[in-house]
Amino acid sequence: MFESIGSVDWKKLEQAHGDASHVPKAIEQLISEDEEKREKAYWKLDNHVVLQSDLYEAAFYVIPFLLEILRSNISVGREHVYALLAEIANGYASEEVTVFINGNRVPLSNACRNMVLEHVDIYLDEVQNQASRYRDSALDLLISLSEKSAEIKSTLNSVLASEQDQEIRVLVNEVLEELEN
């Protein structure tokens, strides 16, 4: 995993407390078998690439690696990944803070939100996976992705049709209700 993490020049990327050179190790530690290391790694990202809803440049470059974790079979740390994605997708940076995408400058907030939105299928797959322990975490992220409400509602209605877990049924209904408003 994380084969391309070294291709990002983390020292040139801003985060809340300076450069982002510590970020690759924090990303890797998100999936450590050691719970304490995972927790510390989460806070090294949460209080740095996004801090109290403020986005920093490094947040955009963290997203692909968080998605890589979700695409994998790794079962530890996923709750932190979902929490980070939700914070990044709903974070804010002024319009002047931009990132380059395909040679174009794009406002950081838009770039981050769009990248998280592009992968809604990953989060929906998690919710549909009855063996997953992170369905609630995926639902917490999905509730904030209203731009994809039609796709989300369609899948969640299918989940309700066969769901036996009452707690998940309640959470799914809450997401559906929120997306209706």
Reported confidence tier of residue 35, pLDDT bands at 50, 70, 90: very high
9 and 86 inside one domain = yes
80 and 126 inside one domain = no
For 13, the token pair is 């990327």
Q: Which domain range does residue 174 map to?
A: 120-181
Q: Judge whether residue 1 has pLDDT over 80.
A: no
Q: Which of 80, 98, 118 is the last residue of a domain?
A: 118
What is the helix (H) or strand (E) element at residue 66, kind and residue range? helix 58-71
CB 136 within 8 A of CB 171: yes
pLDDT in tens, 89-122: 999 999 999 999 999 999 999 999 999 999 999 9
Q: Judge whether residue 59 has pLDDT over 90.
A: yes
- pLDDT at res. 153: 97
Arithmetic mean of pLDDT, 11-22? 91
User: How far is it, in rounded angstroms, from Cα 98 to Cα 176?
Assistant: 33
Alpha-carbon distance values, 13 to 49, 53, 58, 135 (Å):
10, 18, 5, 32
113 and 161 inside one domain = no
**pLDDT-above-90 percentage for the chain:** 92
71 and 5 inside one domain = yes
Number of domains in the chain: 2
What is the helix (H) or strand (E) element at residue 144, kind and residue range? none
